[in-house]
C-alpha cells in the first residue's frame, strides 16, 4: 500500500480539535470474535501486506471434474458427503476497491476518500427497493459491498469487481463458508493512548447481515472485525465464517451477504480501502 493513499486519506480524515474521540470504557468483545486473540503492539507501526485472495479455489470446473471422478467409483449417496468432507465447494467472489470513510456523524452523506459522495456501484444490481429498504446508509453506518447470491456457481477474473450476475450459474444450494477480507483503518488518533496499536477501545468496525427479498434478515447482524485503535496504516484482516456461524445458520439459497462499515461516538471514522466477500456454496446440505 503506497504512502500516497494514506497521505490522501489523512487530508480527508478529521484532525483533532478541542475535543477528541470519546467513548465509555472498552467494550467486552464476543467470545467468538477474532479479536479475542492477542495482537502484537508492532501492528501499530508496520503496515500489513495486500490481500492475496488465494482462498478462492476450487472453480466450478474443478468441482465438476472431481465430482465425476468420485461418482465413477462410489455410490451416488456418498459422493456429496465426500465432496463436503474435502471442502470441494465452488465459489463466487466479489471485490470493492473504492475508498470511502464512514464517520460516526454524517453531514450531507457518506464520503469517498478521493472526493464526492459514496456510491458502491452495486445500486443498479441490487435494485432500488433493496437500497431503500434493506441497504440504507445513516449516521455511523454504510453498506460497502454485497456478495453474489448464495447458490451462484460462476468464475470471475481477478480484475472483475462488483461483477454482475449475467455470467453466474444458479442452482439450489447451501452455504458452506464465507470469507471476508477488509483493508481499513480508523481516524488515526484518540485520547486513549493506552490502547494505541491494539483492538481495545476501538469504535470503528465491520458488521455483516443477510439481504433477502430486498430486506435485511432479522437477527442476521453480526460484528466481524474492529479496526486497530488509532492505526497509522490501512490494515488487512481476513475473517472466515463457517456454516455454524449465527449469520450463516439463517442463510437461505439466494440470500446475499452484506458488509457494513460502522463507527460510533464523536470523532470516530471507519476508512475503508478495499474489501472482498467469497461465498462457498454446494448443491448438497451435509
Q: Are 206 and 224 in contact (CB under 8 A)?
A: yes
Paired strand residues for 211: 216, 256
Report the DSSP beta bridge partners of residue 141. Answer: 138, 262
How would residue 257 be classed by pLDDT, with cut points 50, 70 and 90?
very high
Domain coordinates in residue numbering, the chain: 91-282
- Lowest average pLDDT, out of 2-16, 75-89, 172-186, goes to 2-16
Residue 116 has pLDDT above 90, yes or no: no
CA distance 60 to 155: 7
CA distance 84 to 284: 8
13 or 203, which is more confident? 203
d(CA 159, CA 121): 15
Q: What per-residue confidence (pLDDT) applies to 12? A: 42
Average predicted confidence (pLDDT) for the chain: 79
Given a cut of 90, whether residue 28 has pLDDT beyond it is no
Of residues 171 and 257, more confidence is placed in 257
- pLDDT above 70 covers a percentage of the chain that reads 70
Q: 3-state SS string over 84-136?
A: HHCCCCCEEEEEECCCEEEECCCCCCCEECCCCECCCCCHHHHCHHHHHHCCC
Q: Name the nearest CA neighbour of 113 among 1, 22, 221.
A: 1
Amino acid at each position: 500500500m503506497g504512502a500516497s493513499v494514506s497521505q490522501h486519506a489523512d487530508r480527508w480524515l478529521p484532525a483533532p480539535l478541542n475535543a477528541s474521540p470519546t467513548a465509555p470504557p472498552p467494550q467486552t468483545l464476543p467470545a467468538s470474535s477474532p479479536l479475542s486473540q492477542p495482537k502484537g503492539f508492532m501492528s501499530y507501526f508496520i503496515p500489513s501486506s495486500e490481500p492475496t485472495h488465494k482462498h478462492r479455489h476450487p472453480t466450478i470446473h474443478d468441482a465438476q471434474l472431481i465430482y465425476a471422478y468420485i461418482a465413477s467409483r462410489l455410490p451416488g449417496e456418498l459422493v456429496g458427503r465426500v465432496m463436503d468432507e474435502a471442502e470441494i465447494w465452488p465459489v463466487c467472489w466479489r471485490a470493492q476497491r473504492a475508498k470511502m470513510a464512514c464517520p460516526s456523524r454524517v453531514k450531507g452523506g457518506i464520503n469517498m476518500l478521493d472526493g464526492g459522495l459514496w456510491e458502491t456501484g452495486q445500486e443498479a444490481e441490487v435494485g432500488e427497493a433493496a437500497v431503500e429498504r434493506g441497504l440504507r446508509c445513516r449516521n455511523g453506518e454504510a453498506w460497502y459491498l454485497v456478495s453474489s447470491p448464495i447458490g451462484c456457481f460462476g468464475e470471475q477474473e481477478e480484475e472483475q469487481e462488483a461483477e454482475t450476475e449475467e455470467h453466474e450459474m444458479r442452482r439450489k444450494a447451501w452455504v458452506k463458508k464465507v470469507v471476508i477480507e477488509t483493508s481499513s483503518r480508523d481516524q488515526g488518533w484518540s485520547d486513549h493512548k493506552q490502547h494505541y496499536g491494539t483492538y481495545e477501545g476501538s469504535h470503528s468496525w465491520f458488521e455483516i447481515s443477510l439481504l433477502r427479498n430486498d430486506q435485511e434478515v432479522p437477527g442476521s447482524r453480526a460484528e466481524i472485525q474492529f479496526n486497530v485503535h488509532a492505526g497509522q496504516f490501512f490494515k488487512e484482516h481476513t475473517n472466515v465464517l463457517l456454516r455454524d456461524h449465527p449469520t450463516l445458520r439463517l442463510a437461505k439459497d439466494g440470500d446475499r451477504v452484506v458488509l457494513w462499515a460502522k463507527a460510533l461516538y464523536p470523532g470516530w471514522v471507519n476508512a475503508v480501502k478495499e474489501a472482498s466477500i467469497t461465498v462457498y456454496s454446494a448443491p448438497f446440505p451435509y
